[in-house]
Amino acid sequence: MVALGFGANVGDAAHTIARAVREIETRGIGRRVAVSSLWRTPPWGRLDQPDFLNACALYETSLAPRALLVALKRIEADLGRTAGERWGPRALDIDILLYGDERFDDPDLVIPHRELLHRAFVLAPLAEICGDRQIVGMKIADALMRVDRAGLSIMHRGDGWIGREGGTTAMGETIELICKDGVKISAYRARPDGKPKGGMVVLQEIFGVNHHIRAVADKYAAAGYLAIAPALFDRVEKGVELGYDMEDRPRAMDLRGRTKIDETLTDVAAAIEAAKAGGNVGVVGYCWGGTLAYAAAARLPGVTAAVGYYGGGIVGMAAERPRTPLMLHFGERDKHIPLSDVEKIRAAQPEVPVFVYAADHGFNCDERESYDAAAAAEAELRTMEFFAAELK
């Protein structure tokens, strides 16, 4: 029995890891015996990079350790792994953690993995599937209790996230929404484990329903909400999924400029209807989506509560009174939204809690250079507590 560790933080990490777990069996490398939950973990070594997704799995294999290593490296390469700096961002990392009771200590292969007992991002998922296994006289579950576990969270509990070969992972799926005017748009839907405690509409930035927005939806699903992220560019161009570099920004701005607010809110209304299957509906939006979250709170029925992050267009509609409880987050270093605009919003809607952080625009997005972990964590805590209180 071998134990393997999987990690990634580049691209659609959840999809890549799920595919890697399946590929090992598909290619005849080993027979899958157990798979952990999918974990979100803080970066190790180099901290200025997005969080990782991590998982562990047990396999039965007939391959010798070195042959297994070669096969796993081939999967890494096939799924996008390229040479990079130590502890840097990874499209995919597969480590041999354990190989039965055998020990190896070669320059390019050490089993058990030399850092195994010190890394919470490995121990946490591994403890789920073989917590009683002993390494150097210590159970894996006990070793986990001895390391710093700060920042670890389960993104999807159980093994359903690995999905099926050729299909989507069980964390989320693309669905079709039919809007009131008959237009059909796509949306990303992420379901919670068990009965939802509410519905959550996640409104995109100007970069489409990309990896980050899907990860946000997944996080709300992990928190117990039925999350729906509508593709708000579908009326202009379908399948838009952009990154955060300067090359994609002009296209993002052009797409945003070609949308019409009334049509976009019709799309948001369709997402709200879909989210009602989870119960009372919250709306959370980022950047352009933050502005739309305010508009939804002021203009659309079916919204129980809303939260907007750094919505630059909010000041232009601040005279409109929200119909539902609303919370807003801004960054004091935001070059797109001056603090004078934030003060105008406060003056126009004094009952709305407005929080300002020592951060830049986009501080919640861990794929942007402007990501601020402290501000994101504080805003997320306030947001989750707000929705928990309002959607019950």
Q: Specify whether the CB–CB gap between 208 and 229 falls below 8 A.
A: no
**Residue 237 φ then ψ, to 5°:** -160, 125
Catalytic residue among 361, 365, 366, 372: 361
Could you write out the three-class secondary structure of 295-318?
Answer: HHHHHCCCCCEEEEECCCCHHHHC
* Cα(355)–Cα(327) distance, integer angstroms: 8
Rg, C-alpha atoms of the chain: 22
Q: Is residue 211 annotated as a catalytic residue, yes or no? A: no
**Residue 359 φ then ψ, to 5°:** -155, 170
Q: Is residue 287 annotated as a catalytic residue, yes or no? A: yes
CA distance between the termini of the chain: 46
**Residue 157 φ then ψ, to 5°:** -80, 140
Q: Specify whether the CB–CB gap between 284 and 293 falls below 8 A.
A: yes
Find, among 14, 17, 38, 44, the residue nearest to 147 by Cα. Answer: 44
Catalytic residue among 12, 159, 267, 334: 334
Helix (H, G, I), strand (E, B) or coil at 156: strand
Q: Specify whether the CB–CB gap between 233 and 266 falls below 8 A.
A: no
Q: Is residue 105 annotated as a catalytic residue, yes or no? A: no
Strands (E), the chain: 2-8, 31-35, 38-41, 52-60, 93-99, 104-106, 109-111, 134-135, 138-139, 153-156, 172-178, 184-190, 199-203, 226-230, 281-286, 305-309, 326-331, 354-357
Catalytic residue among 56, 287, 360, 365: 287
Find, among 14, 17, 13, 15, the residue nearest to 5 by Cα. Answer: 17
Maximal C-alpha separation, the chain: 69
**Does an H or E element contain 215, and which?**
helix 211-222
Lookup: tokens for 158: 């159980």
Burial category of 256 from C-beta neighbours within 10 Å (exposed 0-12, middle 13-18, buried 19 and up): middle
Which positions are annotated as active-site residues?
Answer: 287, 334, 361
